[in-house]
Amino acid sequence: EAQVTQNPRYLITVTGKKLTVTCSQNMNHEYMSWYRQDPGLGLRQIYYSMNVEVTDKGDVPEGYKVSRKEKRNFPLILESPSPNQTSLYFCASSPLGPGYEQYFGPGTRLTVT
C-alpha cells in the first residue's frame, strides 16, 4: 500500500530533551515536507526537501532541523524542544514537487511540558 508513515504517533516530552520524529514514504517521491498544525493557524510548512541532500526552510523553521540522506526518509529533529512546539505534525510527499498535490502521513501529536 502506498503510504507515508510517521513515528511516533504520540509523544510527551520535557523542555530541552532532544527528539526525532521519523517519516518514511514508499512511493519513490522526490519531494517531501513537514508541516505543523495549530488551532486557528492552520497548516504551516516547517521544512521541505526537493531530493536527497537538498533541504530548505519553510514558513516556520525556527527550532527544527531536518535531514534527507535517503529518498524515502525525512526525519524532523527538535534539538531542544520548547512548550511552543507543542503541536500536531504532519509529514507529506509529492510525486510532482512543490506546488502540487501532496500526500500526508497520519500525524504525530507532540506535547512539550
Partner 1 sequence: EDQVTQSPEALRLQEGESSSLNCSYTVSGLRGLFWYRQDPGKGPEFLFTLYSAGEEKEKERLKATLTKKESFLHITAPKPEDSATYLCATGGGADGLTFGKGTHLIIQP
DSSP β-bridge partners for residue 101: none
**CA distances (Å), origin 54, targets 34, 60, 66, 112:** 14, 18, 10, 29
From the CB of 44, what's the least distance to partner 1, in Å? 8
State yes or no: residue 40 binds partner 1 (CB under 8 A): yes
State yes or no: residue 48 binds partner 1 (CB under 8 A): yes
Q: Label each residue of 26-40 as H, E or C.
A: CCCCCEEEEEEEECC
Q: Which segment (14-22, 64-72, 76-84, 85-93) binds partner 1 by CB under 8 A? A: 85-93
Q: Which residues bind partner 1 (CB under 8 A)?
A: 4, 33, 40-45, 48, 56, 58, 88, 90, 92, 98-107, 109
